[in-house]
Structure 1
Amino acid sequence: MKRFAVVMILLSVSGCANMAGKIATLGEDMLDTAPQTDFEVRYPEWGVVPETRRLDTGSRFSQQRPQSYSDLQSFLRKNGIDYELLPGDHMMVKLKDTIKFHTGSASVSSNSRYWLDIMGSYLATQPGIDIVIDGHSDNTGAPSFNDKLSIQRASEVKKQLVRNQVSMGSIYTRGYGEYVPACSNKTSVGKACNRRVEVRFIVSNN
């Protein structure tokens, strides 16, 4: 028992001596060597980034780019569809072009139906892509009416995609009513801008 106690004391003294040596090497003013930025705080070895093995995908958000994304990117470019890659844990592509509607209507225009037919034919062959459809309205009418109208608009776009054999289970619809305007509701042009459906794709990492 005494031998165990002596060993523990020796280890303790040795540890303190080592620590004292380390402190001495830092100099008397530790503020000169303490972390100066959040970056250095995250990497306590005084700002040295630990080496990690990571696949360089070339994405500005450091996301992996599966084959589904490459195919989707090629399709969108081929058809002149403008889009943006959103940041986040999942690869999400948002179409910059929106589907427009007349005041109080949830009917998809003939131009939009043609566009959705092309989109649907492609998406039907891509099981690794989920579709999120967000419906919006301007502020004409009661908020309760606009809530329902925005949901109807999203549902009509979903129906158009399903007609082209897109799986219903891969489509998610949401309605935001008048509460997420893209433009000002003070002008007729702004109201037309807000009567819209936005489409985005979530690409599987598999």
Structure 2
Amino acid sequence: MATLAPAVERLFERIDVEARDETLRDLHAHWRKKRGKCACPSLAALQLPRLGDTVRAAFAFQRVTPNRPDWRLSFCGADAEAWIRPGGSSLLSKLPDRRSAVRLRHLVSMAVKHGEPIVVQYEQRRAGDHKHVEVLVLPLASDGAHPDGVFCAVRCTPAASTAVPTLGSPDGDGLSRPPRRVAAAKVHDVSVRGAVSVPVAPLASDIMSMDLEVVRPDTP
């Protein structure tokens, strides 16, 4: 086990490859089904209109510049839009919510680089609204082989209604947190906040060494 970099700790409380939320798990299963024998499905292959209300939680980004990648929002369900708050631009780099943009930019880059699913969980505070947020990021490939986009979904639950196990000492916001750690070799049943599990060593190494933009944690 290896401790995550402090910049990563400020952004994520759990990193995994399987979601806890049922809607996110259903979307992940749909992605796997549509992938078939390809490395990654395309957005069109997902046939989103057939998913009904489930797609309210979903959104997708497509790469628009190859050398210094930016990502354009190509699909966004109603629930996801309420969380992303894209404002007047569809570019990830232009999202008004800087913290969400930082989180998404690095998650999108990792999912595309490694062609692997990734799930994160963290606590979000906006104008006194305190929520647990879980985000699923799945790579997409227009040609079925070379990832150039992501299919994502987000679920937010009020913090007061979700019991999250805590360990460790208070962290300045009335919440207790253990050290965040990453396991490089296998997926674990993550039951304690702060634990991190990823499927392969290269992805684990990327998470541990993320050169993240330093941002303050979400505050009331």
TM over 0.5: no
Larger Rg: 1
Instruction: Decide which structure has greater helix share.
Output: 1
Higher relative contact order (CA 8 A, sep 6+): 2
Instruction: Decide which structure has greater strand share.
Output: 2
TM-score under structure 1 length normalisation? 0.28
